[in-house]
Amino acid sequence: MLLDSIWQHWLADLEEELSTAVDASASPIERGDQLAAALATSLGSRPVLCDLIGAQAAVLERNVSPQVAAEYKRAALANVAALGHLALGCVGELGEHDSVRLAGAAMMVTGALWPHTQPSAAMLAASARAAAPVNGIGLGAQRGRPGDSHRQGDRARQENRDSKR
């Protein structure tokens, strides 16, 4: 399965990323913040993974055999457990149960929010005309850095104003 393969590669990369992103001598709160920042940065740099996570419930889990569905769920649960293990390594105070709950929540939030932070070209154009953020909640940008959608919208609005002069 494509999602499982990409997810596993991300987890392997994330383990290395966390080793430099989280300061083991920091307080639990600081380590938690560092973990969250590293997760956000890492996920944001992997749009295909986020696209697939965002599509899993609405698309990838539909019209498949019970066997495929069971295999998919086992792989997803194993990947969430692996992410929980990485989180536990960064913030041991979470405990095993809560680190897995955190991992599951992080992936559910990623799947829920990612599609809203990736406006289509039509939505970007509509946003430029309406002078409003395309996703309505000001999160992320189309395959860029946080805040890029607002800068893109600002540029598009300015170009629109300039063209009317």
Sequence spans of domains, the chain: 2-117, 121-164
The class level of CATH for 2-117 reads mainly alpha
For residue 133, the 8-state DSSP code is -
User: Alpha helix (H) ranges present in the chain?
Assistant: 2-21, 28-44, 47-55, 66-90, 95-113, 121-130, 148-164
What pLDDT is stored for residue 147 in this prediction? 45
Cβ burial of 35 (10 Å; 0-12, 13-18, 19+) is: buried
Average pLDDT over residues 148-165: 50
Q: Give residue 2's Cα distance to chain centre.
A: 17
CA distances from 83 to 12, 89, 104, 138 (A): 10, 10, 8, 27
Higher pLDDT pick, 125 / 36: 36
**pLDDT for position 117:** 87
Q: Say if residues 152 and 141 touch (Cβ distance below 8 Å).
A: yes
Residue 62, both tokens: 């539909």
pLDDT at 119: 83
pLDDT at 32: 97
Q: Please report the pLDDT score of residue 129 as a whole number.
A: 80
pLDDT score, position 161: 53
**Predicted structure pTM score:** 0.74
Question: Are 132 and 149 within 8 A, CB to CB?
Answer: no
Structure confidence at residue 60 (pLDDT):
66
Report pLDDT digits (tens) over 59-116: 766 788 889 888 988 999 999 999 999 999 999 999 999 999 999 999 999 999 998 8
Q: CA gyration radius for the chain?
A: 19
Digit-coded pLDDT (tens) for 37-54:
999 999 999 999 999 998
